[in-house]
Amino acid sequence: MNNPIDDSTIQRYLDDDMSGVEKAEFEAALSSNIELQRVVAEYRNLSEGILFQKRRAMWSKIQDMEAEAERTSLQNNRTNLTNWLPWSIAAAIALLIVGGILLWNEQQPTSQELFADNFSPYPALAYAPDRSDTLTESLKEQAYRAYSNENYSQAVSFFEQMIAEENDTLTWFYLGNAYLENDEPPKAINALNKFLEYDTELKTQAQWYLGLAYLSAGDTEKAKGVLDQLSKSNTSYAENAKEIILHL
């Protein structure tokens, strides 16, 4: 990133208060900086701890109100007040419970939200064309240029042509990423699984994007299976995989 990463930057990232460009830059730095990953994880745990304290305070308040309702009922059991006060307190308790449930639900992102929070397309590798096959290489150049320029629909078209014309396994990997950008998770799942059948050079990265593809498709069980493997690995994706699993 152009600017130093300070506490406020990390907090804006956790609050999803960054522009698309800022978020992409931050996540690029995050993917290669183990210390930054540790700090972000600590901030995230702190935020979850604050949420827990809020929920605990809410239930403590409910218990106090229930005790007050019982005392009031005993003191006023011969007045009309006894017919109203417990009901008003019960209604307040119900509102607190509903509010607590809503607060909890707000903190439990959907699989699609988890996908959106964690997905950033894998950058195109530097490509030096081999002029031995001008037509095919020209197609590769067009495909990777479109991908690098974030023209993913066009990139999909080129990558699909490449797969039809030659057996370049790396194409499946980038095609899967392009499908994800185009909101086509079933096709992305197929492409990434194809890549994993043929190639292991980018196996970790492919597993990460496959897990995200399952999230985007709403298949949380398969997403868990893939991400669980990553969470046990000694890679930069392990902590991110663990964080996602906590929300599934």
CA angle, residues 193, 147, 133, in degrees to nearest 5: 85
Share of the chain above pLDDT 90, in %: 39
Q: What are phi and psi of 16, to 5 degrees?
A: 55, 45
For residue 80, CA distances in Å to 67, 75, 76, 84, 109 come to: 19, 12, 8, 7, 46
Does 119 score more than 50 pLDDT? yes
- Average per-residue pLDDT for the chain: 78
**CA separation for the pair 178, 155 (Å, rounded):** 7
| CB proximity list for 75: less than 8 A, separation 6 or greater | none
The fold adopted by the segment(s) 116-246 is 1.25.40
Which pLDDT tens digit goes with each residue over 196-229? 998 777 899 999 999 999 999 999 999 999 999 9
What is this structure's pTM? 0.57
Q: Tens of pLDDT along 34-89? A: 888 888 887 776 655 555 454 455 555 555 655 665 565 556 555 554 454 455 55
Domain boundaries, the chain: 49-108, 116-246
